A and B are shown apart, each in its own frame.
Chain A
Amino acid sequence: QKEVEQNSGPLSVPEGAIASLNCTYSDRGSQSFFWYRQYSGKSPELIMSIYSNGDKEDGRFTAQLNKASQYVSLLIRDSQPSDSATYLCAVLTSGTYKYIFGTGTRLKVLA
C-alpha cells in the first residue's frame, strides 16, 4: 500500500527561527509533491508544489525534493506565530493520479 509518512509533532520553534518539516513516501513512481497548510477548523491551502529534485523557493518557503531517498521537506524561514498550523504533505500517486496525504505535522511558532 502506498504511504506518506510525516511526524505528527507538535514541532515547536521560536519566532524568527527556521521550521523544518519532513515527509517520506513509498511510491517510487511518484513525480509530483505538494505541501498544504491547514489551520484548525479550515480547509487545506496549497503552499508549494515541487516536481524536480532539488530546492524550490517561494518567499519564506523552500521545498526540497530527493526522489532517490523518497523524501520531501518544507523549510519555513523567519517563522511567525501566524505560521502555526498543521502542514500536510501530499504525493500524487503514479497511475491513479490521486493524492495520498500524510497525517500532517502540527507546527507551533512561539512568540
Chain B
Amino acid sequence: GAVVSQHPSWVICKSGTSVKIECRSLDFQATTMFWYRQFPKQSLMLMATSNEGSKATYEQGVEKDKFLINHASLTLSTLTVTSAHPEDSSFYICSARAQKVPGLAGGNTYEQYFGPGTRLTVT
C-alpha cells in the first residue's frame, strides 16, 4: 500500500513554455501533498505544501506565480512550471501524507510517501 505515482517521469521542454506534472496517491487519500526539488548531489528542497481544496503554502524564495500548484482532490495534486527557463531544470518530486496508512492500526503517523520524480530539462 501507500503508492504515489508521478507523471511524466521525464520531460524536455523549450525555454518559455509551461510544463505540468501530476502526482497521484493510488491507494490512499492524501490530505496533504508536498512538492520538492532536488539538484544534483544536493538534498531535497521543499517548495510548497498543498492541502486538498485550499491554496498551497510556498516556502520562502519559491515564486508562487511561477510554480502553480493545484490540489483538486484527495488523490491528485499538480505542479505547473510556467515560463520555464534552463535554471528550472531539476528533479521534481512529490510526496503524499496519509493521516491513516492503509493496514496500519493507530492514528496519525505523518509518514510521507514519495512519487518516483520527474526530471525536467529546459533547453
A26 within 8 A of B: no
Contact B109 A44 (CB under 8 A): no
Contact A43 B115 (CB under 8 A): yes
Contact B111 A43 (CB under 8 A): no
For B, the interface residue count at a CB cutoff of 8 angstroms equals 16
A17 within 8 A of B: no
Known: A34-B111, A49-B109, A92-B110. A42 touches B46 (CB 8 A): no
| Majority secondary structure of chain B interface residues (helix, strand, loop or mixed) | loop
How does the 8 Å CB contact mask read for B90-123 relative to A, with 1 for contact and 0 for none? 0001000000000000000111111111000000
How does the 8 Å CB contact mask read for A86-105 relative to B, with 1 for contact and 0 for none? 00101010000111011110
- B34, B42, B116: the one within 8 Å of A42 (CB): B116
- A45, A92, A101: the one within 8 Å of B44 (CB): A101
Chain A residues positioned under 8 Å from B78 (CB to CB): none
Interfacial residues, chain B to chain A (CB-CB below 8 A): 34, 42-44, 46, 49, 93, 109-117
Can you list 22 pairs linking A and B with CB atoms under 8 Å apart? Answer: A32-B109, A32-B110, A34-B112, A36-B114, A42-B117, A43-B115, A43-B116, A44-B93, A45-B114, A46-B112, A46-B113, A49-B109, A88-B44, A92-B110, A97-B110, A98-B49, A99-B34, A99-B46, A101-B43, A101-B44, A102-B43, A104-B43
